[in-house]
A and B are shown apart, each in its own frame.
Chain A
Amino acid sequence: MKTNDVILQTVAKVVVFLILTFSVFLFFAGHNNPGGGFIGGLMTAAALVLLALAFDLQTIRKVVPVDFRKVMAIGLMIALLTGIGSLVLDVPFLSHTFGHFDLPLLGDTELATATLFDLGVYLAVVGVTMTIILSIGEDH
């Protein structure tokens, strides 16, 4: 029996964006407040799972037309390249640095290479979680 999920779907359309925003917040807050790439990635995956529950897996494929295995690979690659980058500057592997910059719009902003590494973690976690869930979900 096909149930009418109109309430769930309507709510999901709003809530998914709230969760995504929260996950981005968590990701950026990570350096100074609780949060970080890992939790942010899991939250993003949670938003996508909600989408999958409200609609179906095809919708996810259509709305987010990426191969999550590639996302995972890209995440791992970013994390690795962040580490290798420090070798170019003749410092040990995975040495991070940070600095304060005066950016337009944002004003005084702290930028850290650790955030780049965290981005890798974030993408890897999203990729991993979605690969697992989609693999299991599409299994018959």
Chain B
Amino acid sequence: MSLLHFAILAPFIYAIAVPFFRKYIRGVHTGWFVLPVPALLFAYFISRVPDVQGGHKELSTVQWIPSMDLNFTAYLDGLGLMFALLITGIGALVVLYSIYYLGKDKEAIHSFYVYLLMFMGAMLGVVLSDNLIVLYGFWELTSLSSFLLIAFWNERAKSRYGAQKSMLITVFGGFAMLAGFVLLYIMTGTFSIREIIGSLDVVTGHALFLPAMLLVLLGAFTKSAQFPFHIWLPDAMEAPTPVSAYLHSATMVKAGIYLVARMTPVFAGAAEWFWLVTGVGLITLIWGSFSAVKQTDLKAILAFSTISQLGLIMSLLGMGSAAVYYGLSDESALYTKATLAAVFHLINHATFKGALFMVVGIVDHETGTRDIRRLGGLINFMPITFTFALIGSFSMAGLPPFNGFLSKEMFFTAALNVMHLEIFNVETWGILIPVTAWLASVFTFVYSMILVFKTFTGKYQPEKLDVKPHEAPLGLLLPPAVLISLVIVFGLFPNILSYRIIEPAMASILPSLLMPGDIFEVKIHFWHGWTDEIFMTIGVIALGMLLYLLLDRWSGLYGKLPQKLTLNTFYDRGLFYLDRWANRGTRSYMTGSVRDYLIYIFTFMILILGYVLFRTDSVRWYSGELAEISIYEFVLVLVMVAAALAVPFARSRVTAIILVGAVGYIVTLFFVILRAPDLALTQMIVETVSVALFLLCFYHLPKLKKEMSHMRFKLGNFLVAAGVGAIMTLIALSANDTRLFTTISDYFVEGSYELSGGKNVVNVILVDFRGFDTLLEIAVLGIASLGIFAMIKLRLERKNPAAALTSSSKPDKGSKRRKGRSA
């Protein structure tokens, strides 16, 4: 158990203590006690930066289930460290922000911090685990804690809807991912990511390579809100704003990005991987930015913006994977720039998106609304917030001198480079990549402008606001201030990050492109000359300005899009019809009628037994020696068959009972003829008792609707009955002919007197040789009698009729019948 393990588990352990702080120290906001955890963890991970930069990779294992190759292996490399820093750093800021955002007394803040710490620990576990199954476990824990956090205000229907939706979609992806991991295990025989990368030659070209890739990608796409699984993210905005800032912009939605980056060494180099990751990323990018423009809720704009930016990062990872195809050559250097852009934009996005969410939270907190139609002119009331929003939005739109500009330029570079790719059929469709990227950037520019200018400039509408807005307290402003200053610092001095964070992270994503001991040389230039990219950016700004200014003219276009074809409608309808069809399907065979169930049971019995009988060719007709049929047996069989056949045709029930009794007494006679006196005695008495009980039941039948009609003929019942009879007869005959060994009865006959001192073999078997059966049989009798006693004497039903009805929602035939008998 190393310090690294402890770092992962610390939030979980600390979460146990949180409710006690809330209970015993009510004067202080619980968040202050939580704050040290991410702060200390952040400090710890910062202290690991020089080590990791030097190429050192920390690895330590705690045995969990060694027999199944499941060990909790913590692994710290460049990629994991970058994510760990994001998680803990933004985590600390979000906790600080939430202290001022959530009221100390109004909210259940202990639950909030327990969930948040749980999420933090799970997220650290995801990015620092080397074992795929452990990674999966933490992955599902992030889904679970996200579910809890989205539904934090669980009295609201929309929160519950959003939480359920995100749970269904991410867990669906999680299961797919698990299946992909299992396929990887089947191929390589290990769950360790490092060892899988080490045995790449087995994986590549394996028949399961593509299924494993698709399943893993499904997990990554659902978690990272990629098209068409992005629909859960806008609904997850029902969560408190600190949660949206933390989970749904900076960390959890990047788990999918992390997974793609982590799995790049395994899958990259294949055309499917390139096209899927790039293509889905680009579709998500353009669809997200396109949809963001029409939103009127600030958080919805940010949600779609997050979707779009995640698509951007995803597509960059896809483009970067082309480098793996070329391996250690000069050409690959061209494409590694895409990976560099992905890693850089990942950090940038976390900074400005986190800040923007906090800004929106402040606006919401100070004005009571997030609807841009009600907001406007807030610049005079909240100048600091406006500054933050301006910087964050400009960075998001990709304007200089902020960090978003740099990553956007690098994105354009990567998109243009990919066009030169001579593999994967890029030459035909490749032109679409930069075009899509450019168009999406235009929309990104438009919604970024909407976000900041519709909120803070324009006409102030006091009549639409419930409270008079004013600047937020310092505590709410401090966390976005930190993030905004990072936006500027990373924008002006990007190389702070390049050597320490980005290079080791790239080394983890593309290990096959490095000679041992080598590192990627990353130098991000703020100004790169009059290149194509700069003209593209100028084009984005020009067209974006035009579109923003003419927004009223063309935004009506969104209303014309068919509402029925949206993915949300598809999802809602899908759930609705799934529910309805499942319901119908179940109702169609769960009729509640015992008669139907008996028909199912008997039909399956006929089919399965019949199939086995004929399939294994076991049908036999008697061939061996058989005992002769005496005249008594012949006559008794005739009488018994006649009595049994008469039962269904009996007009009254008494006749039927008497006929059944007759069959029973003939069986007694059979026992006599076949020399079984004990059986004959018992059969006679038991038959008498059961006929008496039948008559008793008959006597107590309700007077209402007493039908004396004989049974109606039903062809289905007849066929089932005939089938069961035929099958059982066939089995009996076949079994009789295939006797595999001699019987044990000789032993009983010989041993009865010598071993047990009794001459009645039947009785000796019952009480001595197999006394255990008898013991349990008399126990069965005892239980039966107690059951009858309880049924008659206790009569819960009569005392409390409601209790009998709760089992079924409506009074069906069965309960009426029960009531009738007890009356």
A interface residue numbers (CB < 8 A to B)? 26, 29-39, 42-43, 46, 69, 72-73, 75-76, 79-80, 83, 93-94, 96, 98-99, 110, 112, 114, 117-118, 120-121, 124-125, 127-129, 131-132, 135-136, 139
Contacts and interface: CB of A to CB of B under 8 A. Distances in A.
Nearest to B759: A32
A132 B771 contact: no
Given A39-B678, A128-B784, A136-B792, A31 B685 contact: no
Given A35-B681, A112-B756, 18 more contacts: A31-B760, A33-B760, A36-B762, A39-B681, A69-B789, A96-B756, A96-B767, A98-B758, A114-B757, A114-B771, A117-B767, A124-B778, A127-B785, A128-B785, A131-B789, A132-B789, A135-B789, A136-B788
A92 B793 CA distance: 40
Contacts of A98: 756-758
Nearest to A120: B778
Interface residues of B, number: 35
B766 interface: yes
B768 A93 contact: no
Interface string B759-800: 110111011100110110011011011101100110000000
B677 interface: yes
A43 B771 CA distance: 21
A136 B767 contact: no
Interface in B785-821: 785-786, 788-789, 792-793
Contacts of A37: 767
Contacts of B772: 83, 93-94
Q: Is the interface of B mostly helix, strand, loop or mixed?
A: helix
B760 A35 contact: yes
Q: Which of B677, B693, B759, B788 gathers the greatest number of chain A CB atoms within 10 Å?
A: B788
A122 to B, nearest CB: 10
A49 to B, nearest CB: 9
A124 B774 CA distance: 11
Contacts, number: 126
A69 B779 CA distance: 12
B781 A124 contact: yes
Q: Which of B686, B696, B766, B771 gathers the greatest number of chain A CB atoms within 10 Å?
A: B771
A36 B760 contact: yes
Contacts of B784: 128, 132
B682 interface: yes
A75 B693 CA distance: 24
Contact of A112 (B689, B758, B781, B782): B758
Given A114-B767, A124-B782, A38 B788 contact: no
Nearest to B686: A42
9 contacts: A36-B678, A72-B785, A75-B778, A80-B775, A83-B771, A96-B767, A118-B763, A127-B785, A131-B788
Given A46-B685, A110-B757, A112-B756, A76 B779 contact: yes
Contact of A139 (B682, B759, B792): B792
A96 B772 CA distance: 12
A117 to B, nearest CB: 5
A36 B767 contact: yes
B692 to A, nearest CB: 9
Contacts of A96: 756, 767-768, 771
A98 to B, nearest CB: 4
Given A46-B685, A83-B775, A34 B678 contact: yes
A42 B756 contact: no
Contacts of A121: 767, 774, 778
Nearest to A79: B775
Contact of B682 (A29, A42, A93, A127): A42
Contacts of B771: 83, 94, 96, 114, 117
B524 to A, nearest CB: 82
A80 B772 CA distance: 9
A35 B682 CA distance: 9
A34 B696 contact: no
B767 A42 contact: no
Nearest to A112: B757
B682 A38 contact: yes
Contact of B764 (A42, A79, A114): A114
Contacts of A80: 775
Contacts of B785: 69, 72, 127-129, 131-132, 135
